[in-house]
A = this chain, B = another copy of it.
Amino acid sequence: MTQLKLQGIIPPVATPYTSDFQIDKPSLRKVIRHLLDGGVHGLFMLGSTSECVFLNPQQRGDVLEVAMEEAGGKVPVVAGVMDATTDHVIGHARQAQSLGVNGLVVTAPYYTRTSQAEIVDHFAYIKEAIDLPVIAYDIPVCVHVKLARETVRELSSRGLACALKDSSGDDGNMRMVMLDHAAEPEFAVLTGSEIVADYALLGGAHGCVPGLGNVDPAGYVRLYEAAKRGDWLAARREQERLIALFQIVFQGLPHTSMGASGVGGFKTAMQLMGLIEERKMGRPNRLLPDAGVAKVREILAASGLL
């Protein structure tokens, strides 16, 4: 197994649909080129923002094929293999492996309720089945259980995960996790936050997985580069610009759920920017209402992206 070194900006790539809910491959290619042109350091396909759990195996495969072609070895491609239980995850992982991805992103099981010990077992079963680097993905808002600090330690010490993507919003705990692993430079910690990425980088995070990076990859790359060179004021200014842009995620409310408002905000912006044909999302997510679309346009314009 080759090593996977994750760092920098690795956006969870949005998944554009055609009008009949197939993968819109031309739009997906355009999105990936937009990201690579923006300077991103990796691609996270089939994440939560990518609507992974809405896709069937054919669609998951289509997305990964396009990504591998477009990435062309220039940046690593990691694949979300989200599913409720161990053996479904292994099935997705086999497909992803056969398509050549560089790593897997694995959450705790969901729907079924598992203990921290069973979560460790879950990662162990996957590692046993698939010889690929695994990024542990902490996203309690979706799976409704948190990867405990001790669980992350066990995943690392047993070689069951080579990185953590922390989308829990618990930045204090993530900070302690980073220090727990300070002596393991090969263990990467990535934040899933769009709005406190500069914080995480100051704390020693290796990178950021921002959904908003679909809209403004160059902004996140600038933020990351400022942080790398220790120019924290420049990082902060870039972060503040991106927080203003981030307000696009609230424009579906209360017509839609927060989930649909967020992904819908990204897709609406991407459509307005000419990156994708359709802004539809997987069912039953509702589209942003017209007033929300107008507000997204306004925010984009204010951010200099239109």
Contact between A243 and B176, CB atoms less than 8 A apart: yes
Which of A29-37, A256-264, A292-300 is the interface stretch? A256-264
A196 in complex: contacting residue of B171, B198, B243, CB < 8 Å: B171
Complex Cα gap A17–B243 (Å): 46
Known: A113-B258, A286-B121. A244 touches B179 (CB 8 A): yes
Contact between A113 and B257, CB atoms less than 8 A apart: yes
Contact between B125 and A284, CB atoms less than 8 A apart: yes
Complex Cα gap A244–B254 (Å): 30
Contact between B284 and A143, CB atoms less than 8 A apart: no
A 217-258 contacts with B by CB, 8 A:
230, 232-233, 236, 239-240, 243-244, 254-258
A202 at the interface (CB under 8 A from B): yes
Convert A169-181 into 0s and 1s, putting 1 for each residue whose CB lies closer than 8 angstroms to a CB of B. 1111001100100
Closest to A253 in B: B115
Smallest beta-carbon distance A190→chain B, Å: 16
A118 at the interface (CB under 8 A from B): yes
Q: A254 — which chain B residues lie within 8 A by C-beta?
A: 115
Smallest beta-carbon distance A48→chain B, Å: 8
Complex Cα gap A141–B112 (Å): 9
Smallest beta-carbon distance A54→chain B, Å: 5
A86 at the interface (CB under 8 A from B): yes
Q: A202 — which chain B residues lie within 8 A by C-beta?
A: 198-199, 202, 232, 236
Complex Cα gap A284–B127 (Å): 13
Complex Cα gap A112–B283 (Å): 10
Closest to A174 in B: B196
Q: A115 — which chain B residues lie within 8 A by C-beta?
A: 254, 256-257, 260, 286
Complex Cα gap A256–B56 (Å): 31
A285 at the interface (CB under 8 A from B): yes
Complex Cα gap A85–B239 (Å): 33
A 1-59 contacts with B by CB, 8 A:
21, 48, 51, 53-54, 56
Known: A84-B84, A142-B113, A199-B203. A283 touches B179 (CB 8 A): no
Smallest beta-carbon distance A13→chain B, Å: 17
Kindly list 14 other residue pairs between chains A and B, CB separation below 8 angstroms, not including A86-B283, A111-B142, A172-B193.
Answer: A51-B112, A54-B84, A54-B88, A111-B111, A115-B286, A121-B283, A169-B170, A171-B199, A175-B195, A175-B243, A176-B243, A203-B236, A203-B239, A232-B232
Return 14 A-B CB contacts under 8 Å, by A number.
A56-B91, A84-B84, A85-B283, A110-B110, A113-B257, A113-B259, A115-B257, A118-B286, A172-B195, A196-B199, A198-B202, A202-B202, A202-B232, A203-B239
Residues of A whose CB lies within 8 Å of any CB of B are: 21, 48, 51, 53-54, 56, 82, 84-88, 91, 109-115, 117-119, 121-122, 125, 141-144, 169-172, 175-176, 179, 193, 195-196, 198-199, 202-204, 230, 232-233, 236, 239-240, 243-244, 254-260, 282-286
